[in-house]
Amino acid sequence: MTTTYDFWLAGRRASGDADFEVHNSWDGRLVGKVSIPTEAQVEEALDAAVAALPVFAATPAHQRAAALDHVAKRLTERTEELAQLVTAENGKPIKWARGEIGRAVSVFRWAAEEARRTNGETMRLDTDPGGVGRFAVVRRFPRGVVLGIAPFNFPLNLVAHKVAPAIAVGAPIILKPAPSTPLSAMVLGEILAETDLPAGSWSILTVPNDRMPALVQDKRVPVISFTGSDKVGYQIMDSVPRKHCTLELGGNAAAVVLADWSSEADLDWAATRIAMFANYQGGQSCISVQRVIADASVYDALVEKVVAKVKAQVTGDPNDASTDVGPLIDENAAKRVESWIEDAVAKGAKVLTGGTREGATVAPTVLAELPEDAILAKAEVFGPVLSLHKVDGVDEAFAAVNDSAFGLQAGVFTHDLQTAFRAQRELEVGGVIIGDAPSYRADQMPYGGVKDSGVGREGVRYAMDDYTVEKVMVLTGLDL
């Protein structure tokens, strides 16, 4: 029997007058049906969020922290159930789905801790004669209702990155999960409903994409947090120029292997990490390895190892614990990736392994001699494809990284501390990972990009800053 999931309106279950289906991309089976809110129900959620703002913002820190702790606890208890659900709706291998649930637990735990220790700051103002007797207290308060728009590739953890910081600061949030992967967000709603958060402080609405412009532009929502494609993200920002937007967008992340990373063990490690993180999540991660930029002195040895380790990636049923690479989100996505590979080959690229498609699954693919006019050379592939590039020296390597419209993260394999600091200084990215692939992300660190990779930062405390604004109170006539 197929489960029909209600959405969550102002903290309670609700159903609309229509629904849509969610299918598994591996075998096409129906995973569940989800109810769609009516326009009147969306209005109700907006009104409830606005009404909840002063109440929620005034809740004591311990209450918000306790709710976040509860969510972390319950996600832990329901890890296997949620992992199975993420695999069913998303198609990612079960081992990666289990890891995603663990990360979501950490996000809510971090948010609980930040809710308890966010104190603002104080400053004495008598550092100048005109400030004698004056003392400032600086605190942060919610900007208003947050609209969180989540993507399909991490259907629980990236939802957590929208919801947990909002709860931590007392900002009402309306969450819109991706239409292809809404089910784990619905279960998160079940857990949130077990807390004593104020009515209206959160809603999870499965609004169809074609109805989103009205919600995005609604004046009752001053904050938008969006994770997804650069095209859609900048369309949102352009449509609401006076709103506060955080955009976590695309990338074509580079892994740089420099001349000093030359031992057998070094190259084994680099190849292992590159192969894994070019293909994890089916390559459907903004920081998947897409470009490998290797110094000429290590290039040939590295290529041999990368190809061997990519070939060793196990592709198949995502429910099998041994599977490394599952299907893409749907067959259309796989066909697009296949067409980009064909475009590259037609223009002169060489396929060293992979390059084929079966249904929604694309075989892990390695390309060499990728021409600059290939789509894959510049755009984000969002699939299990990497290209190999030979350079001479650090200058050329870093120039190659920066030769991109995107700038999310880069990995630099080097032992040289000076080169590491130079990479942080010169690379046009939001994060540099030294000694590892660019795909590393700790959920408490600031995460985001430059150029077409977006604006703003996630990571619990940094998202809390984005959702709030400083207010200054100056006390006068004090004997300091």
Q: Active-site residues: which are they?
A: 248, 286
Task: Report in angstroms the alpha-carbon separations of 255 from 171, 247, 437, 470.
Answer: 38, 23, 6, 38
CA distance 81 to 90: 14
Residue whose structure tokens are 């663990």: 102
Task: Report in angstroms the alpha-carbon separations of 141 from 56, 166, 223, 409.
Answer: 11, 11, 13, 30
**Up-side HSE of residue 195: CA atoms within 13 Å toward CB?**
27
Burial of 265 (0-12, 13-18, 19+ CB in 10 A): exposed
Sorted by sequence, the CB contacts under 8 Å of residue 181 that are 6+ apart come out as 22, 86, 89, 90, 152, 155, 329
**Pair 89, 24: CB distance under 8 Å:** yes
Edge-to-edge strand order for the sheet containing 244-248? 12-14, 7-9, 202-204, 173-176, 146-149, 223-227, 244-248, 454-455
User: Strand 146-149 relative to strand 223-227: parallel, antiparallel, unpaired?
Assistant: parallel
Rg (the chain; Cα; Å): 24
Of 367, 364, 322, give the one whose Cα is nearest residue 345.
367
**Pair 458, 161: CB distance under 8 Å:** yes
Element (H, E) at 43: helix 39-57
Residue whose structure tokens are 């100048």: 128
Per residue in 216-254, is it b (16+ CB within 10 Å) or e — as a string?
Answer: bebeebbbbbbbbebebbbebbeebeebbbbbbbbbbbb
